[in-house]
Structure formats: C-alpha cells, structure tokens
Amino acid sequence: MKILVITGSPRKNGNSNTLVEHFIKGAQEKGHLVERFDSAAKKVHPCIACDKCAQSGTCVFDDDFNFVKENILEADMVVFASPVYYFSMSAQIKTVIDRFYAINDKISTPKKAVLILSYADTSKSVAEPIIKHFETMLDYLGWSDCGKLLAQGVWRTGDVDKTDYCKQAYNLGKNI
C-alpha cells in the first residue's frame, strides 16, 4: 500500500511528529511504501479562491504542494497528523488541505485515511471539532476512516514519550 503522511507540526521534534515516526516505522515494517510531507517546513501558498484550477485544471501557485499533488494521486492512504492549536489543526496542515480544492476531481476516489492528533488538554471534547472536520472531509471525498489516535495530555516536547501513545501509533501503522 502507498501511504502519504501529511504533518502539521512546526516543532520538528514535537509530539505529533514523534507519533508519526512510530506510525511510519510500523507501516514500513509491514511492507508499506510511505512518503512524508512536513507542511510546516514547506512553502505552500494558501488557496485564494481564484478558481483558476477549475478553469485550467492547474493551480496558479507552483510551490511545494506539487509534492502532495503527485503523491496523493497514487496513495492508497493519507495520514493527517497535527498538534491541536486553539481547538483546530495547525494552520500549516489546514493550508495543505485547503489546496485539495484544486485536485478535488482527481482525489475523490476510494482511499483510506488516518487522523493523528496531539494536544495538552486531557478532554476528548477538545478534539471533537477536528474529528468532525476529518469525518466530513472523508465523507465528501469518498474516503474511509481507518483510525484515529488522540494523544491527550501531551504538551511539552517529549511528553508523548512518557505515554503508551507511541506504541499505539506504531501498532496503528503496523495493523493497517
């Protein structure tokens, strides 16, 4: 299976990126091919709703989103991993998702998806708006939900290492 992992953490060694590393390790050990796109380290221009992509089939911006475009078309699964910032996914990953508009018709094919979140709060309700957004997006695209990992109570870099969330991420990757 080909898997595209899109991360949203601006902290290179942040908790959500640590979880992604464990997920990828499990998936690769199972024989899956994994490509990773760290949106916070890339140049992705926000969608400006110019609608040129609908007219020409190509986005007006020639930026790092091209990597996502190339890899998402062939992917069987897309993994979204983000810290929760002010009750939402990070702006960096949301910018990538907004650019899906330019390739809607090409990615509205059966794919699998996973959501990995890390956040300081200990209440699952903090993640509910993001989960709803994720599920709505999957429904719209015709993708299937293959799992969610909600790492609660991890704030400072490295907090996730003191939990069993890394093992859960590894097992999620290994068992997809």
Per-residue model confidence as pLDDT tens digits over 40-94: 999 999 999 999 998 887 899 999 999 999 999 999 999 999 999 999 999 999 9
Q: Report, as an integer, the average pLDDT of 141-159.
A: 95
Share of the chain above pLDDT 70, in %: 100
Quote the mean pLDDT of the chain.
96
Q: Which residues, 6+ apart, have CB-to-CB distance to 83 below 8 Å?
A: 8, 9, 11, 14, 15, 16, 90, 117, 118, 119
pLDDT above 90 (res 111): yes
165-174 and 15-29 helices, crossing angle to 10°: 30
- The answer to whether residue 119 scores a pLDDT higher than 90 is yes
pLDDT at 54 (0 to 100): 83
Query: Exposure string (b/e) for 74-103, b if CB count within 10 Å is 16 or more?
Result: ebebbbbbbbbbeeebbebbbbbbebbebb
Q: What is the mean pLDDT of residues 28-45?
A: 98
* Range 7-31 average pLDDT: 97
pLDDT at position 153: 94
pLDDT value of position 138: 98
The torsion angle over the Cα atoms of residues 18, 141, 34 and 36, rounded to 10 degrees, is -50
Amino acid 124: pLDDT = 87
The H or E element spanning position 68 is helix 65-74
pLDDT at 31 over 90: yes
* Cα separations in angstroms, 119 against 15, 84, 131, 150: 8, 5, 13, 8
Token digits for 35? 């490509």
Q: Would you state the pLDDT for residue 55?
A: 82
Contacts of 86 (CB under 8 A, 6+ apart): none
Give the bridge partners for 119, in sequence order.
152
